[in-house]
Amino acid sequence: MKLLFILDPLDALVTYKDTSLAIMRAAQVRGHTLWVCGQHDWQLQHEVVTVDAQTFAFNADGSWKTSDKSSVSPADFDAVLMRKDPPFNNEYLYSTYLLELAQQQGARIINDPASIRGWNEKLSVARFPQFAPPFIVTSQQDKILAFLAEHGDIIVKPLDGMGGSGIFRLRKDDPNIYAILETLTQFQTQTIMVQRYIPDIVKGDKRILIINGEPLPYALARIPKTGETRGNLAAGGKGVAQPLSTRDQEIAITVGKTLKQHGLFLVGLDVIGDYLTEVNVTSPTGMVEIAAQTDCDPAIVMVEALEKLVA
């Protein structure tokens, strides 16, 4: 296969744990050709989408080499994998438009750009109310305060972040309630997600990877460090791989069927206790940690699934 990866700048990737690089290593080992580009290497001239991309190959010592960039057609690749990290801002939105046009011109884009655009990673739990904790989505302070009064312990978070950024736990006696809500909602002009706090977070925020509709057998439980509410690895959480529970399997299998129908090939579900809290469709991670702790190598599973899709 000839694969193109849309990445953040190469020098910004954390080499030893980056999921995109893990997939690329697995693909190279299996004899596939790698190309890379950035979000702003895409352009539309008249009606034709092109991309300025460069070849990429790992050296024996784990470093890599790249060629000079050249203008190529996205349709020349067997698959184009969108792996740009959030935030999902206007530039991300514009990228999905260009990718959708490229798709219409014959490119195979993973994940489907219209679905990336349509599946907000926080709001998408509303598609599966049977699995979601109590929540509201609003910018209005009085509604958030009423939700806090009802539940006593809540989580508030922006709709476009990643890695735990901007997430706060609020209780009725918190002296900073108003300051936090003013900051997050930008004085009631920014819509946020508000969820009931789930005490099982102490056991980990479980990342379940779904590949072409099928869940991996292990989740990565991201356990918060002492004194921290967030389990995100970027916030200092400890990743512990563990087999899916019966409830995890129920959530993953049910959600996975819908994800596949929408062209969402690689997705990371976040599950706390028995509740689905997020559906990560942009650049889900956790493959390296699962591979290091179990007999399952998610990157190989991913590449094998791509091979079947292309075949």
Of 157, 206, 248, 289, which residue is the catalytic one? 157
Provide CB contacts within 8 A for 275, sequence distance 6+. 131, 132, 133, 198
What is the pTM assigned to this prediction? 0.94
Q: Which domains does the chain have, with CATH numbers?
A: 2-113 (3.40.50.20), 135-197 (3.30.1490.20), 201-306 (3.30.470.20)
- pLDDT at position 288 is 97
Residue 280 known to be catalytic: yes
Provide CB contacts within 8 A for 173, sequence distance 6+. none
- pLDDT at position 232 is 72
- Quick check: 86 and 160 in contact, CB under 8 A? yes
Of 112, 270, 289, 297, which residue is the catalytic one? 270
**Residue indicated by tokens 């509604």:** 143
Residue 222 known to be catalytic: yes
Residue 122 known to be catalytic: yes
Of 206, 230, 232, 297, which residue is the catalytic one? 230
Residue 289 known to be catalytic: no
- Quick check: 121 and 282 in contact, CB under 8 A? yes
| Radius of gyration, alpha carbons of the chain | 20
- pLDDT at position 278 is 96
Count Cβ atoms within 10 A of the Cβ of residue 253 and give its class: 0-12 exposed, 13-18 middle, 19 or more buried: middle
Extract the tokens encoding 61.
Answer: 């010592």
Of 18, 278, 289, 297, which residue is the catalytic one? 278
Of 206, 207, 289, 297, which residue is the catalytic one? 207
Of 84, 120, 222, 232, which residue is the catalytic one? 222
Residue 295 known to be catalytic: no
- pLDDT at position 227 is 67
Residue 157 known to be catalytic: yes
Residue 17 known to be catalytic: no
* pLDDT, one tens digit for every residue, the chain (311 residues): 999 999 999 999 999 999 999 999 999 999 999 999 999 999 999 999 999 999 999 999 999 999 999 999 999 999 999 999 988 899 999 999 999 999 999 999 999 999 999 999 999 999 999 999 999 999 999 999 999 999 999 999 999 877 778 899 999 999 999 999 999 999 999 999 999 999 999 999 999 999 999 999 999 999 988 767 776 777 678 899 999 999 999 999 999 999 999 999 999 999 999 999 999 999 999 999 999 999 999 999 999 999 999 99
Residue 206 known to be catalytic: no
- pLDDT at position 165 is 83
Of 25, 122, 196, 206, which residue is the catalytic one? 122
